[in-house]
Amino acid sequence: MKNKLMTIAEASAAISSGKTLLIAGSETVLRHLPKGRWIGGTSVYFLTAEGGVCDEDNVFVTEFETATAARIRHYGTDALPQLAQARFDHGVTAILIPAFSKAHAQFAIEGAGYEGVFDQPLMGWITGTHLDEVGKTSPKVFDGASGAVYDEGAVLLHAELPPQIVAELDIINLFEQDPHADTIVFATDGFSAETAQVNGETVDFAAYVASKGIDTKLPLVADYAGAMINVSFQSVDAGKHRVQFYAPVIAGMEYKLAKSTGDYATALASQIGADGGEQLSCNCILNYLYGEMEGKKTGNYTGPATFGEIAYILLNQTLVHMKFEAAEASKVA
Amino acid sequence: MTDTAAVFRRTLTSSKELGDASLATKILVTRLRREVSSQPSALDKAVTELSAYFSKHQFASKDIAVL
């Protein structure tokens, strides 16, 4: 895959040449692009080879060079559970969902139960806006084939791969559970919680977070059979006895607060190492903000900084990356 | 019961970490374990779902070895 920050003219030329593209940019810029084999989502924060940047004039373009065919679909919330139906027998799917939409909440809570969702790599992100525009402008997704623009539902790009190429989707998470932290369990799935069981005792969760002086820049972390999955804090309102999250907590999962990483950008660069240059990736806007990544180089994974990352399920404060490799290489990896 | 089905049943009723398994396998197994834990009678259905997944997934042989 090729990743590059492009001008409108450069991106338009790539579209017109028939390439299969995944594009992130401001709504204004995306609306200037011609129809073609692409999907896009609003985002103006990017991690580039030169460092983190907020850019409303250019677009970040990923080319699926090895794709032999593509299908672009938009699914409303009613059809979202069938999101895997139009995929190819051998391929990958990119998915974009607008932040704060019904589809965002639905996918986050129910997506792991959608039929076939784990059978092929499903990678994407939650589209956003400039942070100054949150609540004023709705995030969008673009179906480049039809030219349609949506602030609801999900737009998907199913890409067919040649038989000798396989895709591998994985995550890089700066965080792990603090083994000394309390064990937290919620009774219901959701983006908010009023109570939780902490070490087996039911507590007012907002009061607990406040009284413990918990650093809410650190996420709650659940251990999914060895994969660390974050849920980030959005707000804590002790007066209303409510804690809001950027992804849903799942009933019955055991969460612990993350162990502090020290300096974000240094920790991220350390974890990433020299990998990532040709991979499709996105990182979380919270990592961008809390890590003060604007202007900082954080390794070779480049892409948008998003309002939520998707690697089969919705993730927070996580770098998602997908690489293509020869089928034989994957067998011995 | 086949050997593979027995492995799946054991996987879904344990809390074993899946080390080098793919991310998809880890998330799916976690979801199925949670369902089985809250409703033990769902074990057969969960085994069927896991079997169907491994019959399609490109990394199946590598991941089954981790279970």
For residue range A159-213, list pLDDT tens digits in order.
999 999 999 999 999 999 999 999 999 999 999 999 999 999 999 999 999 999 9
Q: What pLDDT, on the 0 to 100 scale, is given for residue A274?
A: 67
Q: Residue A164: exposed, middle, or buried by beta-carbon count in 10 A (0-12, 13-18, 19+)?
A: exposed
Q: Please choose, from the candidates A253, A247, A229, the residue with its C-alpha nearest in 3D space to the C-alpha of residue A192.
A: A247
pLDDT surpassing 80 at residue B37: yes
Q: How far apart are CA A315 and CA B6, in angstroms?
A: 32
A176 token code pair: 């792990």
Q: How far apart are CA A82 and CA A270, in angstroms?
A: 39
Q: Which residues contact B65 (CB under 8 A, 6 or more apart)?
A: none
Which of A90, A223, A311 lies closest to B23 in CB terms? A311
pLDDT surpassing 90 at residue A293: no
Residue A179 lies in a domain: no
Q: How many domains does chain B have?
A: 1
Q: How far apart are CA A122 and CA A114, in angstroms?
A: 12
Residue A177 lies in a domain: no
Q: What pLDDT, on the 0 to 100 scale, is given for residue A262?
A: 81
Which of B24, B56, B59 lies closest to A312 in CB terms? B24
A313 touches chain B (CB under 8 A): yes
Are the C-beta atoms of residues A221 and A229 closer than 8 Å to each other? yes
Across residues A239-261, what is the average pLDDT?
95
- A118, A183, A228, best to mutate vs chain B, most B CBs in 10 Å: A118
Across residues B6-16, what is the average pLDDT?
94
- For B2, which DSSP code? -
pLDDT surpassing 50 at residue A332: no
Are the C-beta atoms of residues A201 and A166 closer than 8 Å to each other? no
Using CA coordinates, name the residue in chain B closest to A110: B31
A228 touches chain B (CB under 8 A): no
Give residues 10 to 39 of B whose Cβ lies within 8 Å of A.
16-19, 21-31, 33-34, 37-38
pLDDT surpassing 60 at residue A120: yes
Give residues 27 to 86 of A whose Cβ lies within 8 Å of B.
none
- Read off the pTM: 0.94
* A305-322 pLDDT, tens digit each: 999 999 999 999 999 999
Across residues A216-243, what is the average pLDDT?
96
A297 token code pair: 């180089």
Using CA coordinates, name the residue in chain A closest to B38: A252
**Co-location of A315 and A205 in the same domain:** no
Containing structural domain, residue A199? 184-257
pLDDT surpassing 60 at residue A9: yes
Question: Between residues A274 and B48, which one has the greater pLDDT?
Answer: B48
**Co-location of A42 and A143 in the same domain:** yes
Q: How far apart are CA A156 and CA A71, in angstroms?
A: 8
Q: What pLDDT, on the 0 to 100 scale, is given for residue B56?
A: 82
**Co-location of A195 and A319 in the same domain:** no
Containing structural domain, residue B52? 3-64
Cβ contact A118–B62 (<8 Å): no
pLDDT surpassing 50 at residue A45: yes
**Co-location of A45 and A190 in the same domain:** no
Q: How far apart are CA A199 and CA A192, in angstroms?
A: 19
A4 token code pair: 């590059």
Q: Which helix (H) or strand (E) holds A209?
A: helix A205-212
Longest dimension (CA), chain A: 61
**Co-location of A165 and A105 in the same domain:** yes
The full length of chain B comes to 67
Residue A178 lies in a domain: no
pLDDT surpassing 80 at residue A20: yes
Q: How many domains does chain A have?
A: 2
pLDDT surpassing 60 at residue B67: yes
pLDDT surpassing 80 at residue A148: yes
